Amino acid sequence: MAGDLTLWYDKPAEKWTEALPVGNGYMGAMVFGGGAAERIQFNEDTLWRGKPHDYASTEAHQHLGELRRLVAGGETARAVELGRRVFLGVPRRQMPYQPFGDIFLKFPGHETPAAYRRELDLASATARVRYRVGGVEYGREVFASHPDRMVAVRLTADRPGSLTTTISLGTPHKLAEVSAPSDHTLVLRGRVQEDGVSFEARLHLRVNGGTVVREPTALAVTGADAIELFLVTATSYRDYEHIDADPTMRCDERLARVTGRAFDELRAAHLADHRALFGRVTLEVGSGDQDRLPTDARLKALKSTGLAGDPGLAALHFQYGRYLLIASSRPGSQPANLQGVWNELLDPPWESKFTTNINFEMNYWPAEVANLGECAEPMVDLIDDVVASGRRTARAYYGARGWVLHHNTDLWRGTAPVNNIDGIWPSGGAWLCWHLWERYRFSGDRGFLERRAYPVMREACEFFLDTLVEEPKTKWLVTSPSFSPEQGTLTVGPAMDMQIIRALFAATSESARILGVDGDLIDQLDAARARLAPDQIGRHGQLQEWIEDVDVPNNAHRHMSPLWALYPGDDINPERAEVFTAAKKLLAWRGDGSTGWSYAWRMPLWARVGDGDFAFRQFDGLLQRKTLPNLFDLCGPFQIDGNFGATAGVAEMLLQSHLRAGSDALSPVIDLLPALPKAWPAGTIGGLRARGGFEVDLAWRDGVLTRAVIRSGLGQPCRIRYAGRSVEWRGDAGTSIALDGSLKVVP
Ligand code: FUC
């Protein structure tokens, strides 16, 4: 039915990519739902290979001059050879995120369950399984509680004494062992490597009725009425420079909070916590016959109906992105990595780290607009770490002040270039700064700007003030050496760098003005900004990706780097008509997506140029071609960025607030339904956020806005626009205004 936010299936998951994810920010778990054999694979976000380590090569700086000379002189092959030899991190690859372990449950006789259903209910963040065997209905319920930092499992049967199962723990790690110290505890203890992170998981068992027999590494329960399991995990990770915490003590503490409390009480705490975040945003864009199908069948049916034929699935996918962010990124946890918090592989694709030339940032695109601002806190914390390690890299590679982060970081907060020469790209940290500035623009939180954002942005600026070089022909200031992610070869001043640095300098200078500090720096930034290589329009009328006009028409590369200033940036907009038109040309050249995230990036980009139908086409492509049965996004393999990017993309189709009504950063132009696709003629969205502390609810019919409610959180002025009309509004903090489709005030 419409609005039912449930993924469901009529058979167990066979593969990991069919299992259903739960998470509490720190821990993730994948529920398979097998009849005779249940597997719940779990993770903890601080379990990584490696140990505290600085990847910066201390000799790199000696070669910077030569590298720059080779790049500037067009001696690319030699530059590439030198770059690879002397300018990459040590070692060249960062460390991978690790799986933790598995809970296994065996149910003899349950090989052919009847009336089977497994589901993930997004509104309650609960995975459930139910089926019948021999006239008994069996149920399982799994949730990951953020307030109690554990995963809870409850097994039930509708006839007393019917639950018989063997419970064990497993792990893919070699240096680990499982024990059963009591008839209500299983312990998994180990290390990732001899000198690396140590870990412990504790599974606590509570049974109603029946008997428990302790085996060397398992607990066998016979004839119980109900069984409850509580899983806590811990590692020795304290921060990126220390791995000396005691996982046993941590497990003791975590378990002590849980063991004395009733399941219902723990569940109530979980529900209250989850609903407070998840319930802030609602979306309805219609319903159809496919609402009645299991989720995997729904995905397959798209081949004949397209996503337009299943609007309920679009809404489900949008909310799934919000669900996944809540489950993988909470204050105090690690941020969502390439796989969020879910990973079963010792060698996951791209090490499942934080890739900053698009993927990591995309994870956080929905945070502010989709009303989950606090879920972005782990990203802000990570930024503080990479400022510290990035200072060392700035010195070691460039002899510069400030801090730099290249195109990847990991648990150890590596900031040096890694992997290959495309890692020699200095703008990852500056892109992260954009998120700090945007967080201020959405929240208006001056304390955040002063204490968290501005100091970090100022130091990022210092790095570029020290390292930008003058391009000899044009005299523009450019980055060197650099790379346009992940195309071409070593270069200077690719459009993306210049756009990100322009945005950084502008935001930092404006922040300094708001805070009334650093007058000299403001002057320096404004002067340098005026000399940065500008957005250029090439001979085909396209926005140029590089300083030279060498773009190849219809290059459909997955990366949309030169369109950064169109989205997520805001500098390319209809007020700069020529550049805006050139950006559209390049966007059209890029065509449809390829990887999941590249479909997802095209969604907000097309929304920014007002083409809801083409944005929708990318959403459709993402779901038809790059989505797994559990609605996880595919890059090639599973990679979560496309889930988050699509959620941000849908928001961007329905509401935008990039421009300003005047000069104040907190006084936005709020565009209502700027890119509504024909596929969604009627619908409602509630609770999206606009910059300046606003919250917006919209309703439309026959493709036309019928009602908008805008609530002001900060008392800032705004201009509200729709279909060629606009109205100015300034309401006190806490007040709201309701408008009809002609923007007339209505009750
Ligand atoms: C970038 C992308 C790849 C992949 C990787 C994690 O390098 O170009 O497609 O997403 O990150």
- The conformation of residue 332, written as its DSSP 8-state character, comes to T
Cβ atoms of 271 and 293 within 8 Å: the answer is no
Model confidence over 630-679: pLDDT tens digits? 999 999 999 999 999 999 999 999 999 999 999 999 999 999 999 999 99
Residue 213: strand pairing partners: 220
- Name the closest-CA residue to atom 6, ligand 1: 350
pLDDT value of residue 430: 99
CATH of 6-48+98-282, one of 3.40.1160.10, 2.70.98.50, 2.40.50.100, 2.60.40.10: 2.70.98.50
Contact 722, 743 (CB under 8 A): yes
Contact between 95 and 412 (Cβ < 8 Å)? yes
* CA-407 nearest atom, ligand 1: 7
Instruction: Give distance in angstroms: CA of 356 to centre of ligand 1.
Output: 9
Find the 325 Cα to ligand 1 centroid distance in Å: 20
User: 436, 361, 427, 431: which is closest to 640 by C-alpha?
Assistant: 361
Domain ranges of the chain: 6-48+98-282, 61-90+353-534, 669-739
Amino acid at 707: R
Position in ligand 1 atom list of the atom nearest CA 636: 9
Q: How far is the CA of 92 from the centre of ligand 1 (A)?
A: 16
Give the tens place of pLDDT for each residue, 349-398. 999 999 999 999 999 999 999 999 999 999 999 999 999 999 999 999 99
> Cβ(486) to ligand 1 under 6 A?
yes
Ligand 1 pocket residue status of 599, Cβ below 6 Å: no
| C-alpha 163 to ligand 1 mean position (Å) | 46
* β-sheet with 150-157: strand ranges across: 6-9, 114-121, 126-133, 136-145, 150-157, 226-235, 198-208, 185-191, 176-182
Give the N- to C-terminal CA distance of the chain in Å, as an integer: 31
Which mutation among 351, 639, 641 tests ligand 1's pocket best, with the greatest number of atoms within 8 A of CB? 639
Residue 200 in this model has a pLDDT that exceeds 90: yes
Q: Out of 1.10.357.10, 3.40.640.10, 2.60.40.1180, 1.10.8.80, which CATH number does the structure's domain 669-739 have?
A: 2.60.40.1180
The response to whether residue 337 sits with its C-beta less than 6 Å from ligand 1 reads no
pLDDT for 298 beyond 90: yes
Query: Ligand 1: distance of its center to the CA of 558 in Å?
Result: 9
Share of the chain above pLDDT 70, in %: 100
SS3 sequence of 489-502: EEECCCHHHHHHHH
d(CA 455, CA 515): 11
pLDDT band, residue 50 (cuts 50/70/90)? very high
Question: Confidence class of residue 684 from pLDDT cuts 50, 70 and 90?
Answer: very high
How far apart (Å, rounded) are the C-alpha atoms in residues 742 and 135? 60
Q: What is the pLDDT at residue 4?
A: 85
Other C-beta atoms closer than 10 Å to the C-beta of 738 total 13
Residue 2 clears pLDDT 90, i.e. is over it: no
**Ligand 1, pocket-test mutation among 94, 337, 359, 560, most atoms within 8 A of CB:** 359
> 568 preceded by cis ω (within 30°)?
yes
CA separation for the pair 586, 236 (Å, rounded): 48
Question: Does the Cβ of 601 fall within 6 Å of ligand 1?
Answer: no
DSSP letter string, 539-551: TTSPBPSSSSS-P
Q: Given the CA of residue 598, which atom of ligand 1 is nearest to it?
A: 9
Residue 627 has pLDDT above 80, yes or no: yes
* 363 Cβ inside 6 Å of ligand 1: no
484 touches ligand 1 (CB under 6 Å) = no
Task: Tell me the per-residue pLDDT of 206-243, one tens digit each, with 9 for 90 and over.
Answer: 999 999 999 999 999 999 999 999 999 999 999 999 99
**Does 635 sit in the ligand 1 pocket, CB within 6 Å?**
yes
**Percent share of the chain, pLDDT over 90:** 99
Six-digit token string for 111: 């090989």
- Tens of pLDDT along 82-94? 999 999 999 999 9
Is 362 near ligand 1, meaning CB less than 6 Å away?
A: no
The per-residue pLDDT for range 486-537, each reduced to its tens digit, is: 999 999 999 999 999 999 999 999 999 999 999 999 999 999 999 999 999 9
Q: Measured in angstroms, how far is the CA atom of residue 336 from the centroid of ligand 1?
A: 15
The yes/no answer on whether domain 61-90+353-534 falls in CATH 3.20.190.10 is no
39 vs 691: CA distance, rounded Å? 43
- pLDDT tops 50 at residue 1: no
Question: Model-level pTM?
Answer: 0.98
* Those residues with Cβ within 8 angstroms of residue 490's Cβ, 6 or more apart along the chain or in another chain: 67, 71, 76, 79, 80, 83, 421, 424, 481, 482, 483
Q: List, for residues 569-598, the tens digit of each pLDDT value.
A: 999 999 999 999 999 999 999 999 999 999
The residues near 648 (Cβ < 8 Å, ≥ 6 apart) are 321, 362, 365, 366, 369, 370, 600, 603, 604
Burial class (CB in 10 A: 0-12, 13-18, 19+), 225: middle
Chain mean pLDDT for the chain: 98
Which of 350, 425, 557, 594 has most ligand 1 atoms within 8 Å of its beta carbon, as the pocket-test mutant? 350
Q: Is the Cβ–Cβ distance between 6 and 26 less than 8 Å? A: no
What spacing in Å lies between the alpha carbon of 425 and ligand 1's midpoint? 14
